[in-house]
């Protein structure tokens, strides 16, 4: 049954890994430099030649725009990779870590279509050769009232969307996750009520906001399957379910797209789903959250902040809107 639960806890404490990789090392880790000629793999009209393999540094996260990277303690990688929501592999928090390895992520491509002047496809090789990667340490707040702090490796979604040239009709962006029944045991479950593939959506201005990331890694390494390999969305001011994993399709649309959780229960899950301590979930309060690692004895309970603490950066997107109505 696909239903968010306020979950039980235990989590271990492990020293966070410190990061700072070069893109070349990152691509090596992803197995991409083993490919014969990276430039030759570009697969669509939009692709530009690869950058020639010269080492490209991650930009120092601290040099990103003000407030984009938090210096709050990072959640240990072990917690982030073992306590997951990825219903394609089951509804238990440990199911993704157990079963997501059954998903094949190589080769991978993303189709970009709909209201764009230059529709096309990007392979992961295209993505990694085209966009400068940077580290962004973001808070992630799940609608189930737990949260974590994750150092993502990625690039602004805006950079990708601009390459495909949104038309003047484009007002929303719809996203879809890979759907392969034979590799995703959760999609074969008789108790699942989700209409696969998992779908999400943003308004175009939200999608173009510089905080909105496409992440290809975390903790300086390629993305683990359970966290949405090889590429996922991260929208830090919205509840975690908006941050769709393992994206294969991006479609620009005129109309607001259907999304998985809104389809399942529109009364409980709105299209916007901005983090808001003043709008409770019908079945629980959103005033506080458990910051992982958290345990029964040490719940690590902290107050939830409007827009998950990104109010200065994003409040302008919702000027004049009733946030209780457009929840």
**Residues within the interface to ligand MTE (CB under 6 A):** 84-88, 142, 177, 198, 227-228, 240-241, 243-246
Element (H, E) at 217: strand 213-218
| H helix runs in 22-111, sequence order | 23-29, 77-82, 95-99
Q: How far is CA 143 from the centre of its chain?
A: 14
Residue whose CB is less far from ligand MTE, 245 or 251? 245
Residue whose CB is less far from ligand MTE, 47 or 218? 218
Tell me how far apart the alpha carbons of residues 228 and 51 are, in angstroms, rounded to a whole number.
26
| β-strands 247-253, 109-114 pairing | parallel
Work out how close the CB of 241 gets to ligand MTE at its nearest, in angstroms, rounded to a whole number: 4
Structure token digits, residue 44: 């669509």
Structure token digits, residue 243: 């941050």
Residue whose CB is less far from ligand MTE, 83 or 172? 83
Residue whose CB is less far from ligand MTE, 129 or 276? 276
Structure token digits, residue 223: 């993305």
Work out how close the CB of 232 gets to ligand MTE at its nearest, in angstroms, rounded to a whole number: 7
Work out how close the CB of 122 gets to ligand MTE at its nearest, in angstroms, rounded to a whole number: 19
Residue whose CB is less far from ligand MTE, 139 or 245? 245
Helix (H, G, I), strand (E, B) or coil at 71: coil
Helix (H, G, I), strand (E, B) or coil at 274: strand
Structure token digits, residue 246: 């393992």
């Amino acid at each position: 049954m696909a239903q968010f639960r306020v979950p039980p806890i235990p989590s271990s404490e492990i020293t966070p890994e410190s990061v700072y990789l070069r893109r070349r090392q990152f691509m090596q880790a992803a197995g991409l430099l083993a490919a014969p000629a990276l430039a030759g793999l570009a697969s669509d009209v939009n692709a530009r030649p690869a950058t020639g393999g010269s080492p490209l540094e991650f930009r120092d996260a601290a040099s990103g725009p003000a407030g984009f990277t938090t210096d709050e303690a990072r959640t240990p990688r072990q917690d982030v990779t073992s306590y997951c929501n990825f219903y394609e592999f089951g509804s238990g928090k440990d199911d993704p870590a157990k079963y997501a390895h059954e998903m094949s992520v190589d080769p991978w491509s993303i189709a970009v279509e709909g209201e764009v002047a230059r529709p096309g496809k990007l392979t992961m090789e295209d993505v990694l050769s085209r966009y400068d990667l940077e580290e962004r340490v973001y808070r992630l707040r799940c609608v189930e009232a737990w949260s974590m702090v994750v150092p993502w490796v990625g690039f602004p979604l805006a950079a990708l969307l601009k390459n495909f040239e949104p038309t003047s009709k484009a007002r929303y962006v719809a996203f879809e996750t890979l759907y392969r029944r034979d590799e995703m045991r959760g999609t074969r479950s008789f108790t699942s009520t989700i209409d696969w593939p998992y779908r999400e959506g943003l308004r175009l201005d939200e999608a173009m906001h510089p905080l909105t990331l496409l992440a290809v890694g975390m903790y300086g390494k390629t993305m683990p399957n359970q966290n949405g390999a090889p590429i996922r969305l991260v929208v830090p001011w919205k509840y975690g379910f908006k941050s769709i994993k393992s994206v294969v399709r991006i479609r620009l649309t005129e109309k607001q797209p259907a999304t998985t959780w809104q389809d399942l229960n529109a009364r409980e899950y709105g299209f916007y789903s901005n983090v808001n301590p003043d709008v409770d979930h019908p079945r629980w309060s959103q005033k506080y959250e458990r910051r992982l690692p958290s345990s029964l004895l040490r719940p690590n309970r902290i107050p939830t902040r409007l827009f998950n603490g990104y109010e200065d950066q994003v409040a302008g997107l919702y000027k004049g809107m009733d946030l209780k109505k457009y929840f």
